[in-house]
Structure 1
């Protein structure tokens, strides 16, 4: 009997439906001919708690830190014991095992750790399914690989799981116990990703709080030219008081010039015309979709993720959603016309977009060299029936379909014009844009970026009709919201001060993963470290105090971003897991030595932030709570290990 172990029941059903024969339901499995398909329920196993290594570690004490397991243990999740027993029974009669976890690092870990935990010693094949449609699953079944090829990916995921445990358990215990000495009765959760994300928000809030607005002044002049009118802006010279962005800091020079300008004549001294072509935005990765959906519809990253999961699993309208890739396999190009026509036929908006698609066009999106374990989000071809979807599901699906349809539209073609006038020996500049071919742009917006200038000829005369001075003020940065925080996590190198580290991060940008970023934000809200104010995400007093009390490196992104690089090196067989974990343990010892009750007490006393109702999730029986960096006696599902 061939046993296929899928990551989730929905994937198991899709695999069973794609096999030849009639599916027969069994306890915890589906049999089809000589193949049985079973499933995990997310993670069936989790890292064992500290007291599994030593019962004395159930009590939280500073003198037991750091906790460093010599031989790592996994333990079944309480609600997963039944399914784990079903897989154990099936393995006893199996001749062959097929690993059908999701096509990513965590999916490799999730199924393989079950296979190894249950003691299977035989050969294991790997099935990679990124699209639940029957033809796609059948193609995947015809391309089974040796699971040994993915052993480095498993080792990287295993290293991540163990490192998160070490980091989260030890730092959470240390700061929670130090917090008690400082008078805070509650768990202070620290994680290798969640805490740097919190640090981003705390520092942004501090920038806003400490910002001092500075006035600056701009002078405009409405000019009459040979073929129309335009507005130009004064470019003051360096002999005037300017800031580092060239803004005028004194009103008097602008006001004096404005009085002299009406009726004055000048000449167009320089004219620059540039024709530009812009390709359509690529199909979405999950994070890119979360950013756009938050901006367009104001929905949180977590809602976008949950919506995509529903579109993938329940409705089977889109391909695997937890993807960090924005490219599509080249083999999908030929099927794209029929796929998109089927997907869009029952929705008026999509039919309108479909009518403008030219399927003879081939964009840069179809590129096998850019596709890894999974590809960009795309429609599967199943018709989208808006009456069977929620409004949010329909809106998110339209975004996904739109970005794929846009690959079959012409490029956006524009003519950009920059004009420089000399009037009263001063320089005035104007710029405009003319759309030559809107291409894909109408699918995204009907708004022009800049109005076109009238036809201009270098050397022509202009006359000032009117002029005026505008009083403006510098503005603080905007507070983070779901869209901007997800974008910051995707492009974390922008928030790194060290130029060398920033250069390194250009190739390996990212804080968290496509699958975890939304959950990290929600976790910080649930724990009372962040609070939502409308669309804005602000740090609470507790969140600000935690960051202030920690060593600076714990609340900054450099450590975890470089950590991800090490994990990538393990996955690509360029690095062994041992040195990575040894380095982490060395760092942990130094960080634990920085736990200071006086510093934490002062941070709690002086913290500034928003007020929030903090969920009472931590055990009040001091020193008896189970050691998890989630800091909770109410056990949340741990699809991704602590500290993420």
Structure 2
């Protein structure tokens, strides 16, 4: 009997539907001929808690730290025991096993750890599916691979899981205990990704709070030229009081020049015109989609991920969504026209855009060399029933289809124009652009283009018909929202000060992964470290205090982004995990040595931030620890909260 183990029930159903023969359900599986298709429910196993290694660790004590397992153990998740038992029973009957986890690091881990945990010693094949439509699944079933080829991917995921446990368990216990000593009643969770993300928000909020607006002044003129009118702006010479961005800091020079301008004339001293072509934006990765959907539709990162999962699993309208790639396989190019015709026929807007597509075009999006375990998000070709989609699902679907459809539109062509006028011996500048061919742009436009400059000729005269001085102020940085925080996590090198690390991180995948970024934001909200103010994400007092109390290295992105590089080396270059884990343990010891009650007390006293919304207390029959609070040795009452990753 062949046993196929899928990552989740929806994938198991898609596999069973693609197998020849009639399918019937049995306990924990679908039977099709001599094949049984069973499933996990996400992770069926998790890292064992500290007290599984030593019962003494059930009590939280600083002198236990760091807790370092010698022989790692997994334990079933409480709600997964029934399905785990079903897989155990099926494995006893199997002659071959097929691993059908999602085609990524975590998908490799969560099925393979079950196979190892249940003691299977026989052959294992690997089934890679990124599209749940029947033709794609049939094709994947015909091209099974040897699971041994993916052992380095498994080791990377296993190493990530162990490293997260070491980091989260030890630092969360340490800072919770010193927090108790400093008067904070509750768990202070620390994670290798969530804490640097919180640090980004806390530091941005601090910049906003400390910001001192500075006035500056701008002078504009409306000019009459040979073929119309335009507005130009004064560029003061360096002898005027300017800031580092060339803004005028004192009003009198602008006011004095404005008083001389009525009736003045000059000439167009220099005209620059450059013809430019701009290709369509690439198809989406998940994070790029989350950024655009947040900006356009005010959707949270989690709402976009949930919509994508539904479009993939329930409606089968898009390919695998948790992708970090923005390119498509070259082999998909010949199938794209049929897929887009199917995807667009259920929607008036998409159908109109389809009419402008030229399928003889080939953009740079089709590139096998840029495709890894996943390709960019794309429509499967299934015709959508838009009446069955929620507003969020419909909007996200249109974005995904639009970005693939745009690959068959011509480039945007425009002429960029820069004009410099000399009037009364002063420099005035104007710039604009003239659209020559809108190409793909109408599919993306949300507002009208600014009117182009009139036709200009270098040396022509210009007369002042109006002028004015505007008094402005510098503005603080914008608070993070879902779009900007996801973008910051994608481009984390911008927030790194060390030049060498910055260069290295420009080539990395950023902070977190496509599959985890939305969850990280939601975790910080659930734990009361962030709050939403309309669309803005702001730190709470507790979140700000935690960042202030931690060593700076624990709240900055360098460490965790470099972690991802080390894990990638394990996955792609078969690097050994042990040097990475040994280095992490050395780091942990240094961080634990920095746990300081006085610093925690000071942070709790001085932290600036918002109040977290009150959360309902969870009923529990567990007795409170009778240990003395002031020693920091008692187990906190809220220990049941999950330790972060």
Same fold per TM (> 0.5)? yes
CA contact (8 A) 1:241 1:249 kept: yes
CA contact (8 A) 2:276 2:416 kept: yes
CA contact (8 A) 1:224 1:463 kept: yes
Aligned equivalent of 1:111? 111
Matched residue of 1:233: which SS? strand
Aligned equivalent of 1:81? 81
- Cα distance in 1 for residues equivalent to 2:118 and 2:607: 49
CA contact (8 A) 1:526 1:614 kept: no
1:156 CA drift (Å):
0.4
1:578-632 CA distances to partner (integer Å, 9 max, x unpaired)? 000000000000100111111101100111101112534698835999x9x9995
* Shift in CA distance, 630/376, structure 1 to aligned 2, threshold 3 Å: farther
Aligned equivalent of 2:575? 575
* Shift in CA distance, 68/634, structure 1 to aligned 2, threshold 3 Å: closer
1:451 CA drift (Å):
2.5
Aligned equivalent of 1:436? 436
1:43-97 CA distances to partner (integer Å, 9 max, x unpaired)? 0000000011011111101110000000000001111111111111111121111
TM-score (norm 1): 0.97
CA contact (8 A) 2:319 2:378 kept: yes
* Shift in CA distance, 583/449, structure 1 to aligned 2, threshold 3 Å: farther
Aligned equivalent of 1:366? 366
Alignment of structure 1 residues 375-524 onto 2, 5 Å: 375-445=375-445, 447-524=447-524
TM-score (norm 2): 0.96
Structure 1: 5+ residue stretches without partners: 637-641
1:410-452 CA distances to partner (integer Å, 9 max, x unpaired)? 1111111001111111111100111111111111115345431
- Cα distance in 2 for residues equivalent to 1:346 and 1:320: 21
Which 4+ stretches in 1 moved above 2 angstroms? Answer: 446-451, 613-625, 629-636
Alignment of structure 1 residues 41-52 onto 2, 5 Å: 41-52=41-52
Aligned equivalent of 2:168? 168
1:119-178 CA distances to partner (integer Å, 9 max, x unpaired)? 111111111100000011111111111111111110000000000000000000000111
Aligned equivalent of 1:271? 271
- Cα distance in 2 for residues equivalent to 1:203 and 1:351: 46
Aligned equivalent of 1:215? 215
Structure 2: 5+ residue stretches without partners: none
Aligned equivalent of 1:639? none
Matched residue of 1:274: which SS? strand
- Cα distance in 2 for residues equivalent to 1:623 and 1:77: 28
CA contact (8 A) 1:172 1:631 kept: no
1:190 CA drift (Å):
0.5
Aligned equivalent of 2:4? 4
Aligned equivalent of 2:256? 256
* Shift in CA distance, 490/55, structure 1 to aligned 2, threshold 3 Å: same
- Cα distance in 1 for residues equivalent to 2:274 and 2:137: 48
CA contact (8 A) 2:186 2:636 kept: no
- Cα distance in 1 for residues equivalent to 2:260 and 2:623: 74
CA contact (8 A) 1:185 1:620 kept: no
Matched residue of 2:160: which SS? helix
- Cα distance in 1 for residues equivalent to 2:272 and 2:535: 41
- Cα distance in 1 for residues equivalent to 2:509 and 2:40: 31
Matched residue of 1:572: which SS? helix
Alignment of structure 1 residues 185-334 onto 2, 5 Å: 185-334=185-334
Aligned equivalent of 1:621? 624
**RMSD after superposition:** 1.8
Aligned equivalent of 2:555? 555
CA contact (8 A) 1:527 1:614 kept: no
- Cα distance in 1 for residues equivalent to 2:50 and 2:595: 20
- Cα distance in 1 for residues equivalent to 2:336 and 2:639: 49
1:575 CA drift (Å):
2.3
Alignment of structure 1 residues 123-138 onto 2, 5 Å: 123-138=123-138
1:264-304 CA distances to partner (integer Å, 9 max, x unpaired)? 11111111101111111111111111111111111111111
Range 536-545 or range 22-31, more displaced: 22-31
Range 611-620 or range 230-239, more displaced: 611-620
- Cα distance in 2 for residues equivalent to 1:377 and 1:406: 14
Aligned equivalent of 1:98? 98
- Cα distance in 1 for residues equivalent to 2:388 and 2:644: 37
CA contact (8 A) 1:280 1:406 kept: yes
- Cα distance in 1 for residues equivalent to 2:297 and 2:399: 11
Aligned equivalent of 1:68? 68
- Cα distance in 2 for residues equivalent to 1:161 and 1:509: 18
Matched residue of 1:92: which SS? helix
Aligned equivalent of 1:540? 540
Matched residue of 1:416: which SS? strand
Matched residue of 2:377: which SS? coil
- Cα distance in 2 for residues equivalent to 1:631 and 1:174: 15
Aligned equivalent of 2:151? 151
